[in-house]
Structure 1
């Protein structure tokens, strides 16, 4: 009992003390260090109402990751979305002018996150597909709410392939057969099924329950040394993380697919079905709408 009270007191002190990591303001990203040892990052795109993966996220996160590589104060990275119903649904299809470097830069970013000693956690209360799901599958842990979270890789249904690691990370989580099923079909996966498959760690009935669980987990993690996290993650990554060259191979295949006349031809129809990436049912339930691309 005495130890439990002491631990609670220590945790309370840790959670109300700010860290000293200096960060600039990043367009599209909210950063919060109000809990000691924790950097919370909220996705809140200024250019996309659905939080489509774009330049803001890649540039801001790349800078944050570079600052964290030798940092020992931050022990946990917690990723959330500040936009209701949307985590990151896919790559921003409206980037203008088109940027052929965004996928290769995303690969470098995602891989560098896997190399950080800090624990990376995704808290999902909305749609995570395409690049958003690829980002999540590279994190150390993923948690989601049953009412709103959906996951998927819709690329093949639009004539391309996942190009930022989805083909590599997802089979390690759910197995080859299920990865084939969901990547090739583009079907959505809801949180409860995602938990059962191993796509995510745990699904919750509400955001409040998810946040409480993550807070309790973090309260333990911030007590432990970050160097030990780093060494343990190095060992786990040996068995579970694809090589950078393998992910880059996917990027090359993605770029080849994107240059195919069939993919180029279906792109306008994709934007039409998605109402130019407007918030609404096509984005929320994209897995159900994908066959319309070919009608």
Structure 2
């Protein structure tokens, strides 16, 4: 029997498990979603019939926009149930190191920890018309805490990674593809079929080869756990500073964490009244 999740819809097709993120009102990464992701990853890793895990969103405007900044301690506690430490960064790194092959099928906005979640997946494919990417933590005086620094520098190079993070701007799918943030930008009406075919093709090949390839690629490209832990600690420290708290409160007062206001988040962040 397929397990029930409050924030995920799951469907297994052979050796491929599709997980749709559905956490109203806007798929914020809060304790319920982290709890369900932890449970899903645990179940899939021990189920030998599953080789590929595909993440998508049930919300056309938002994949995962960022963490719920009002519930940081709670979602970190949920992450600790898998990795033993209250750290989203280590949860995401666990996903990267997993035997599972993970694919993010992205439509809508994916910013902050949402971007870090898809960066932790092995592959990322995005709808050209709707996918929007951002890494805006420096707008609050913070270091990204979920692995963005580790991944983006390796994928984009130093200059582009600095541009992305320090600008706190949105990037469309075509520019994200050019920068290396994602594998490909595809027309929305082709995305689902492309990802499904790829997932099933990978799942039809020997699992031993997948594991061996991932191990070797990760040995070259995945930063050590201590580097992710350091970023997580820096985020935890910086989010408690008076400057960060003042800017977060100003953002919340201006509509941060509401659907309409975050359709153009850079505009909101660029005009905080502090």
Q: Same fold (TM over 0.5)?
A: yes
Rounded Cα–Cα distance in structure 2 between residues aligned with 1:276 and 1:138: 25
Contact 1:58 1:109 in 2 (8 A): no
Note if 1:43 corresponds to 2:21: yes
Residue among 49, 74, 81 paired with 1:73: 49
Q: Deviations over 1:158-183 (max 9, x none)?
A: 12221111111111111111111111
Partner of 1:112: 94
Residue among 149, 161, 164 paired with 1:182: 164
Rounded Cα–Cα distance in structure 2 between residues aligned with 1:41 and 1:96: 24
In the TM superposition, what are the counterparts of 1:48-63 in structure 2 within 5 Å? Answer: 48-63=24-39
The structural deviation recorded for 1:99 is 5.7
CA RMSD, Structure 1 to Structure 2 (Å): 1.8
Q: State the TM-score, normalizing by the size of structure 2.
A: 0.92
Note if 1:166 corresponds to 2:142: no
Rounded Cα–Cα distance in structure 2 between residues aligned with 1:87 and 1:152: 12
Uncovered stretches (5+) of structure 2, i.e. residues with no partner: 80-85
Rounded Cα–Cα distance in structure 1 between residues aligned with 2:129 and 2:108: 9
Contact 2:54 2:199 in 1 (8 A): no
Residue among 56, 60, 76 paired with 1:84: 60
The structural deviation recorded for 1:72 is 2.5
Q: For structure 1, which segment, 231-240 or 86-95, has the greater mean C-alpha deviation from structure 2 after superposition?
A: 86-95
Q: Deviations over 1:17-45 (max 9, x none)?
A: xxxxx542111111111x11111011101
Change (3 A) 1:190 1:240: same
Which of the pair has more CA radius of gyration? 1
The structural deviation recorded for 1:49 is 0.8
Contact 1:158 1:293 in 2 (8 A): no
The structural deviation recorded for 1:70 is 3.7
Rounded Cα–Cα distance in structure 2 between residues aligned with 1:256 and 1:55: 20
Report the count of equivalent residues.
268
Rounded Cα–Cα distance in structure 2 between residues aligned with 1:97 and 1:240: 30
Q: For structure 1, which segment, 61-70 or 247-256, has the greater mean C-alpha deviation from structure 2 after superposition?
A: 61-70
Contact 2:90 2:228 in 1 (8 A): no
Partner of 1:267: 248
Rounded Cα–Cα distance in structure 1 between residues aligned with 2:126 and 2:95: 20
Partner of 2:259: 279
Residue among 203, 209, 217 paired with 1:222: 203
Note if 1:24 corresponds to 2:3: yes
Rounded Cα–Cα distance in structure 2 between residues aligned with 1:114 and 1:100: 18
Residue among 218, 241, 248 paired with 2:222: 241
Q: State the TM-score, normalizing by the size of structure 1.
A: 0.85
